Amino acid sequence: SDLQKQEERGELLQPLIFVLLVLCSILLYFKVSLMDPGFVKPEEEEGEDKGQGVVTPLIPGDIKLRRCGYCLVKQPMRAKHCQVCQHCVRRYDHHCPWLENCVGERNHPLFIVYLSVQLVVLLWGGHVAWSGLYFEPSREWLQHNILLLVSFLLIFIFTIVVLLLLVSHLYLISCNTTTWEFMSHHRISYLRHSELENPFDQGIILNLWRFFC
């Protein structure tokens, strides 16, 4: 049959991979949006100091961990209270309105994977949309291809947005800083009073290793 011939030529493999990538992107979206980003819990306060050994020597000794004025928990270093989630989040990066969840210590690596898969899907979809366009200077052509043209423009816009997000996050990860720390450096006490511009930076390779591994 025609279906068997297409399968033998490998013509069904690419659509199958594309569908699997879309499903993977959807699953990652729900995983990142529904998981705990690293909420600070009151019962964990006793062990906070133990987890700060890596960064404490680089921070001035007169800076003490403070209690959150909203949820009253003792904030670990690099944590921040999210007004939307109403929780303090460990290694807070930002609150993503698209995910309706914070990006923090626990889900930040998966967030990067989600952006990467999403970028591949958008690039592939853009290639498919572009390959279906053939340009003719006529009104009839525009009427028959308007949906395909609009789809390509939307895919192009989303691709640029996702690409910029992914590149910016990878840059910040390579420096071992967060979006919040990068944007609010002058307002964060442990950065403002530190002798180093970024006391957490341990080199690109080690920063990436600690983040992803």
Which band of pLDDT confidence, cut at 50, 70 and 90, is reported for residue 194? confident
Each residue's pLDDT tens digit, 26-37: 999 999 999 999
Q: Which listed residue (24, 85, 96, 175) is catalytic?
A: 96
* Average of per-residue pLDDT across 174-201: 89
Domain-located, residue 15 = yes
Q: Establish whether 88 is a catalytic residue.
A: no
Which residue range forms the structural domain that includes residue 5? Answer: 1-35+106-175
| pLDDT computed for residue 42 by the predictor | 80
Say if residues 23 and 168 touch (Cβ distance below 8 Å).
no
**Which position has the token pair 């001035």?**
60
In a domain, 18, yes or no: yes
* Rounded-to-10 torsion of CA 120, 124, 129, 132: 170
More confident residue, 145 or 127: 127
Q: 146 in a domain, yes or no?
A: yes
Between CA 19 and CA 10 the distance in angstroms is 15
Which is more confident, 136 or 89?
89
Domain assignment of residue 12, yes or no: yes
What confidence tens digit (pLDDT) does each residue in 6-62 have? 556 666 778 888 999 999 999 999 999 999 999 998 866 555 544 443 344 455 555
Beta-strand runs (E) in 1-116: 80-82, 87-89, 94-96, 101-103
Q: How many domains does the chain divide into?
A: 1
The predicted structure's pLDDT at residue 39: 94
pLDDT at 50: 46
Would residue 185 count as lying in a domain?
no
CA distance 18 to 24: 10
Q: Grade residue 146 by pLDDT with cuts at 50, 70 and 90.
A: confident
In DSSP terms, 94 is beta-bridged to: 103
Mean of pLDDT values over 165-177: 96
pLDDT score for 91: 95
Task: List, for residues 84-135, the tens digit of each pLDDT value.
Answer: 999 999 999 999 999 999 999 999 999 999 999 999 999 999 888 887 766 6
Does residue 195 sit within a domain? no
In this predicted structure, the answer to whether residue 69 has a pLDDT above a threshold of 60 is: yes
pLDDT at 53: 39
Quick check: is 71 in a domain? no
Q: Is residue 45 part of a domain?
A: no
